[in-house]
Amino acid sequence: MQDTQPHILDHPIWYSLVGRHAEFATGNDQALRYQPDFFPGGAIAPDLTDPFAALSTQFAVGDSIGFFRSDDVQVEHDDWEVWFDVALVQMVCADLQGDVSTPGVELTAEHVPQMIELVELTEPGPFMSRTIELGAYRGIFEAGRLAAMAGERMKPDGYCEVSAICTHPDYRRRGYARSLTVQIARGIIERGEIPFLHVFHENESAIKLYESLGFHKRRKLSVTAVKRIR
């Protein structure tokens, strides 16, 4: 699965926060985090192997954070409690395929309550009150209800993450996720950037969908959520 794509994608949160998303960042040269109302994610500098020493400079007791890690970074620490640790597949699109059978519409701040409701139901990953400001989002509505959505999140230089791809259970198997993924990825490509995304390792149906659209598996990462307990 590992390939020769640039190293920048091994640390997508870090390179987003030191680059185009710097305005949404808080932290220092060892650890950075998104402001909590944008995205509950953070990262340590790529040359550090102990995430907790760096994260402890940014978090008080009771605070929590999610970060990507490779297998060589251990998560056990007396001052932190791991409450979420799952494997992800990182996929990159080299040659976008597929048509848009159902065009989506631009989502704006007025749609955020519906977007949060859909994310809470389908659990594609975190979506906060200001996540929509990180990039473009599009959605498909049925009878006034948000049936599906997808958008942009992390933006390391030269790349853009396709994120929050989800469909309400009542409207699945209509090709909505496919159409929205193609629309978002196409917009990224038109800007001269490369789309990438993350999907849960065990979600084989989603992986097959993305492969059919021209995404290929690049590498495995883990997403780990921790809470500082002392």
Q: How far is CA 196 from the centre of its chain?
A: 9
**Model-level pTM?**
0.93
* Strand bridging mode 159-167 / 194-200: parallel
pLDDT in tens, 124-163: 999 999 999 999 999 999 999 999 999 999 999 999 999 9
Continuous segment of H or E residues that includes residue 115: helix 112-122
Cα 52 from Cα 41, distance rounded (Å):
14
Cα 11 from Cα 57, distance rounded (Å):
19
Cα 49 from Cα 58, distance rounded (Å):
17
Cα 148 from Cα 104, distance rounded (Å):
9
List phi, psi (to 5°) of 116. -65, -40
List phi, psi (to 5°) of 145. -100, 140
Mean pLDDT for 62-77 is 81
Does the structure show a pLDDT above 60 at 89? yes
Grade residue 2 by pLDDT with cuts at 50, 70 and 90: low
Residue 199's CB is within 10 A of a number of other CB atoms, namely: 21
Continuous segment of H or E residues that includes residue 186: helix 176-190
Residue type, 100: V
Q: What domains sit in the chain, N to C, each tagged with a CATH number?
A: 7-89+222-228 (3.40.630.30), 91-218 (3.40.630.30)
